[in-house]
Every structure is written in C-alpha cells, then in structure tokens.
Homo-oligomer: A and B are copies of this chain.
Amino acid sequence: MPRTAKQNKEIREKTQQLILNTSLRLFSQKGFHATTIAEIAKEAGISKGLAYNYYKSKQDIAAALFMNLDDLIDSFRFALADIEDYYEKLRFTILSMLEFVDQSEEFWRLYIAFILQPENADLSKGALEKFYTEMMSITIEIFEGLEVKNPKVEARLLSGLFDGIILHYYIDKKNYPLKEILSRIIDMYSVENIEKMRQN
C-alpha cells in the first residue's frame, strides 16, 4: 500500500528543508562554488541522488534559498502597517533588523557574498536585488513619514550603517561590543536626533 499523498508531502517538505538548511550553512561558510553537492548530501545524511530529486541543480538550491525573501518582505510590510506612529515604525524596523541578524547569520553572510559579486545575479535570479530595493523603499517611506529633510539619504544611511555593523560583528564576533553599538545606534535615532534631520 503506497504512502498517502499527505505522508509524501510531509516527507518531501522535511527533506527539502533539510537540504536547504544544510546548503545554507555550507554556502555561507565556504561559498557557493566551494561547496559540493556531495558535501551537502553527506552533511544532510542523504544521498547525492536524493538532492537532485528535490532540486534539479546546485543553482536551483541557491535560488530556492532566496525564494522566500518575498514572504519576508510581505510579512514585514504587514507588521509595519499595524503600527501608526512613524517613530514606532522606525523603532520596529531597527529591532526587526537586529532580530533578523541574530537569527539569520548564515543567510545574511550568503546574501552579502552573493550581492557583492555581480555574476551571481543569475544564480539568485534577481531575488536579492529585489529584496534590497524593497527594503530600501520601506525604509524611505518611514523617513518620509517622519518628514525628515532627505528621506532617501537617511534611509541609505540607516541601512548602510546597519549592514556595516552586522558585517563587522560577524567578522569579529568575539570582540565586538555589540550591545554598546546598538544603544549608540538607537540613540542616533532618538526623537531629538530625528528632529535635527528635519532641519536643514
């Protein structure tokens, strides 16, 4: 008697997730090209063949990793919509970024490594570029809502600052004064300082 469709679906989803998780970890540690399917399979405890049963190529795995960035954006937008005050929106954005970093180091490493090398664009099928643009436009909207003088500049600055901090944190985690840095950032976006951004 064959497995039921539901059983199969569960198996498939579990194995798929296993492959994605393992791949993400290895890709982010060693890079896409330096990671072999054999390694992924071995680490995931499956056969090479099975990996191809789920993803038709190594590229495909990479693409799948970036596939749910859209969902991430959507749910973030959704959560923001619930907040009325723009100061709160900004605060929520900063905290979300922090949370993301904390939980998604591997993903973030891979994201930066990919986005830095133009020829990877076709590997991710433009998903990263789209994510970047979306995040930027959300941040710009917030600064517009805060009526600062130059929303685009402020948005670029905040997100640049953010990625830079994360980058350095990951480079030298052990010695990084993350806590102090974060309170410093939060201070940079205090009501008082935002007031300044409104003036010339």
Chain A interface (Cβ < 8 Å from any Cβ of B): 2, 28-34, 47, 109, 112-113, 115-120, 132, 136, 150, 152-153, 156-157, 159-165, 167-172, 176-177, 180-181, 184
Contacts and interface: CB of A to CB of B under 8 A. Distances in A.
Q: Work out how many copies of this chain go into the complex.
A: 4
17 contacts: A29-B118, A31-B31, A31-B33, A31-B120, A32-B33, A33-B33, A33-B34, A113-B116, A115-B171, A150-B177, A152-B177, A156-B165, A156-B168, A160-B169, A160-B181, A162-B164, A164-B164
Q: Interface majority SS on A: helix, strand, loop or mixed?
A: helix
A156 B181 contact: yes
A164 B118 CA distance: 18
Nearest to A183: B153
A13 to B, nearest CB: 20
Given A31-B32, A109-B117, 19 more contacts: A30-B120, A31-B33, A31-B117, A33-B33, A112-B116, A113-B116, A115-B171, A116-B167, A153-B184, A156-B168, A156-B177, A156-B181, A160-B161, A160-B165, A161-B161, A161-B164, A163-B167, A164-B164, A164-B165
